[in-house]
Amino acid sequence: MCGLEVVCAGKGTKHLPGYHDVTPATVWDHYGLPPEQTAGLNAQMFCSFVDGTKSAVEMAAVSNATGLVPQARGLGFPPCGTAELAAQLRPAGEGGVLDRSSTLEVVSSLHPDGSPVAGDLRWGVYVTVAAGDRFVASAFAAYGLATSADGRVAALWRPAHLVGLELGVSVARAALAGEPTGSAIAAIAGVACCAKRDLRAGETIDGEGGEHVYGVLRSMSPALGARMLPMGLARGARVVRDITRGSEVAQQDVEIADRGSAAALYVDLIRELAAPAAHT
């Protein structure tokens, strides 16, 4: 409505390159909670927060609701604090770290060596926007926004969000006003499974946040959708041929256990994705 180009939208998290290999057995070594606070917590759920799966699922939802398109690499988790958002969360050709504009990225609160990022956004969300002309760019400066060195890109962020309260508001809006908090406008992004370790034929995948696979953000296409094992159908899938660590898991590599409504909806989705291609 404001006429601003959305360059990038996303959130912060705690992430290091090795976190894709984290399992429920090792998650508390990385998450950051003291041992006395982990009793009774769902280690597999928290593992999905750490291994990148939850970030991929959330950014896929944002993509499908807004039209923002994932980068070719999915998510890179670059270390970035709030002071650098406007400079870093822009295309590489303009001095940033993105491979395109109108995209998504999750920034890490840690540098690759494990040291903390100044002004980290681990618990927050952000958006970077670009000015269409000099007048708007001057308004960024006049209102004190954090901008890139050239003043063209500005960053807005919230350092935290109150999950429980936000959920209640969403439920109330849906039930009382018939308004969705967010809804998909198209199938733009999905979450594919990658193997955390070598998987052997006969094993059963334990799903999101487990010891077998982690999720990666991908741009959807009819070919990819028909080939990839979506994270939402991974739990209970039986491996039928060996899969190398780090490889994306294909549907042909497994027997999918879920034959209910979720699986049927996914088949319908792939059919709808393929329909436009059939008419071109």
CATH number at residue 235: 3.90.1210.10
Q: For the chain, how many structural domains are there in total?
A: 2
pLDDT of residue 276: 64
Mean pLDDT of the chain: 94
Dihedral class, residue 211 (left if φ above 0, else alpha if ψ from -120 to 50, else beta): alpha
Q: Which domain holds residue 75?
A: 5-163
pTM: 0.92
- Looking at the structure, tell me whether residues 146 and 193 fall in a common domain: no
- Looking at the structure, tell me whether residues 38 and 92 fall in a common domain: yes
Whether pLDDT at 58 is above 90: yes
Asked, for residue 168, whether it belongs to a domain, the answer is no
- Looking at the structure, tell me whether residues 197 and 103 fall in a common domain: no
Average pLDDT estimate for 252-277: 86
Asked, for residue 178, whether it belongs to a domain, the answer is no
Asked, for residue 174, whether it belongs to a domain, the answer is no
pLDDT band (50, 70, 90) for residue 273: confident
Asked, for residue 263, whether it belongs to a domain, the answer is yes
- Looking at the structure, tell me whether residues 122 and 216 fall in a common domain: no
- Looking at the structure, tell me whether residues 143 and 266 fall in a common domain: no
Average pLDDT estimate for 10-28: 96
- Looking at the structure, tell me whether residues 31 and 110 fall in a common domain: yes
Asked, for residue 150, whether it belongs to a domain, the answer is yes
Asked, for residue 112, whether it belongs to a domain, the answer is yes
Model confidence pLDDT, tens digit, residues 97-107: 999 999 999 99
Kindly state the percentage of the chain with pLDDT values over 70.
98
Asked, for residue 146, whether it belongs to a domain, the answer is yes
- Looking at the structure, tell me whether residues 108 and 245 fall in a common domain: no
pLDDT of residue 277: 53
Whether pLDDT at 188 is above 90: yes
